[in-house]
């Protein structure tokens, strides 16, 4: 009598070799790394890390702190799942919380039971386990990433290793975004400075050329860049003569434009018989 083959229990049917899970973890890590390293806007990057990326790695709560080296503090820049602290919270390096401890030591700290960890500062009342991992780039602390869970010892060793690998990519991405933000701020400052200098420069140039019997006189200044260092002017003298001034102001930007403004009055001393060169030197 033929018999039907027995169906294996469900837990055996879905069990997968360990190496398959490891490959999937590596692929997930690679995908996350590609996602975060492609973002150069710092705020967008941090939001992506604490929300989408952290959640895909099983982090119910995730925070990201940035290192404020000048004040020896870490500043909460990204929050997900934590209601007790807001962005902008500051912790003293080496003095406050697991985050401060990790920032000072440069080593990961895992609290399988936060109630027994001397450094833990509550983020959620239901939190029972937490890990804090430093974000280091070329030997320099960039920030600290934390992940929390409502279960005791919720982060097995393999997941901790995976989070540490993820944090290495986070550190590079955050560093690049900070450099990009700094350079963009500098470019905006330079652009604003150039615009202000151009306004000053244009205000100092004559609006029209004078009528001088027997002569055709005109002037025009065209800058190679946003702001030039050239200046010209027409000065009416008391005896009916005219003075023509041509100058190349040293430097660029607002400083050069202001120098032009202060120097502009010196040739006017010639109206009173003074030597303009001495006025400028003075």
Q: Check which CATH number belongs to the domain holding 102 and give it.
A: 3.30.450.40
Q: Give 3-state DSSP helix, strand, coil % of the chain, rounded to 5.
A: 45, 20, 35
Q: Is 126 among the domain residues?
A: yes
The DSSP output letter for 212 is: B
Q: How many domains is the chain partitioned into structurally?
A: 2
pLDDT of residue 190: 78
Residue that is last in its domain, among 154, 181, 208: 181
Are 134 and 108 in contact by the 8 Å Cβ rule? The answer is yes
* Shared domain check, 251 and 154: no
Which tokens belong to 250?
């040293």
Same domain, 79 and 147: yes
In-domain check, residue 12 = no
The string of DSSP codes covering 124-149 is: -TT--EEEEEEEEETTEEEEEEEEEE
Token pair belonging to 237:
């003298």
The answer to whether the CB of 255 falls within 8 A of the CB of 267 is: no
Angle at which helices 157-204 and 18-37 cross, to 10°: 10
Helix axes 253-264 and 157-204, enclosed angle (nearest 10):
20
Same domain, 177 and 201: no
57 and 32 Cβ atoms separated by less than 8 Å: yes
pLDDT tens, the chain, 282 aa long = 444 444 444 444 445 555 777 778 888 888 888 889 889 999 999 999 998 877 787 788 899 999 999 999 999 999 998 888 889 999 999 999 999 999 999 999 999 999 999 999 887 888 999 999 999 999 999 999 999 999 999 999 998 999 999 999 999 999 999 999 999 888 888 788 777 777 777 777 888 888 888 888 888 877 766 665 677 888 887 777 888 888 776 666 666 666 666 666 666 555 555 555 555 555
- Which of 156, 181, 206 is a domain's end point? 181
80 and 128 Cβ atoms separated by less than 8 Å: no
**Residue 269 located in a structural domain:** yes
DSSP 49: I
CA distance 114 to 132: 12
**Secondary structure class of 201 (helix, strand, coil):** helix
Domain, as residue range, for 265: 197-281
pLDDT, position 145? 97
* Whole-number Å distance between alpha carbons of 234 and 165: 69
CB-CB contact of 163 with 131 (8 Å): yes
Answer whether residue 172 is part of any domain: yes
pLDDT of amino acid 140: 96
Token pair 């030591």 in the structure block, residue? 105
What pLDDT score was predicted for residue 71? 97
Residue 3 in domain: no
Q: Could you tell me if 110 and 152 lie in one domain?
A: yes
d(CA 117, CA 190): 49
Q: Which two three-digit tokens encode residue 119? A: 């450094």
Tokens matching residue 137: 């780039």
Residue 13: the pLDDT is: 44
- Give yes or no: residues 163 and 201 share one domain: no
Does residue 9 sit within a domain? no
State whether 98 and 214 are in the same domain.
Answer: no
């Amino acid at each position: 009598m033929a018999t039907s083959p027995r169906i294996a229990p469900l837990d055996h049917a879905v069990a997968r070799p360990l190496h398959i899970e490891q490959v999937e973890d590596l692929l997930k890590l690679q995908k996350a790394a590609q996602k975060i390293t492609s973002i150069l806007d710092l705020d967008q990057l941090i939001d992506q890390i604490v929300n989408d990326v952290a959640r895909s790695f099983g982090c119910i709560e995730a925070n990201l702190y940035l290192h404020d080296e000048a004040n020896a503090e870490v500043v909460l820049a990204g929050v997900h799942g934590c209601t007790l602290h807001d962005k902008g919270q500051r912790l003293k390096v080496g003095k406050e919380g697991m985050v401060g401890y990790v920032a000072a030591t440069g080593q990961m700290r895992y609290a399988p039971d936060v109630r027994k960890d001397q450094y833990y500062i509550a983020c959620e009342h239901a939190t029972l386990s937490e890990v804090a991992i430093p974000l280091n780039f070329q030997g320099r602390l960039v920030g600290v990433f934390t992940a929390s869970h409502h279960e005791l010892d919720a982060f097995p060793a393999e997941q901790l290793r995976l989070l540490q690998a993820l944090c290495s990519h986070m550190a590079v991405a955050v560093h690049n975004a900070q450099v990009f933000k700094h350079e963009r701020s500098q470019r905006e400052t330079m652009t604003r400075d150039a615009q202000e200098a151009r306004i000053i420069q244009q205000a100092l140039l004559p609006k029209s050329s004078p009528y001088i019997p027997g002569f055709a006189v005109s002037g025009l200044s065209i800058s190679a860049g946003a702001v030039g260092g050239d200046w010209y002017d027409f000065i009416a003298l008391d005896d009916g003569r005219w003075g023509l001034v041509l100058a190349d102001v040293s430097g660029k930007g607002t400083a050069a434009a202001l120098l032009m403004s202060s120097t502009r009055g010196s040739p006017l001393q010639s109206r009173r018989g003074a030597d303009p060169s001495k006025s400028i030197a003075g």
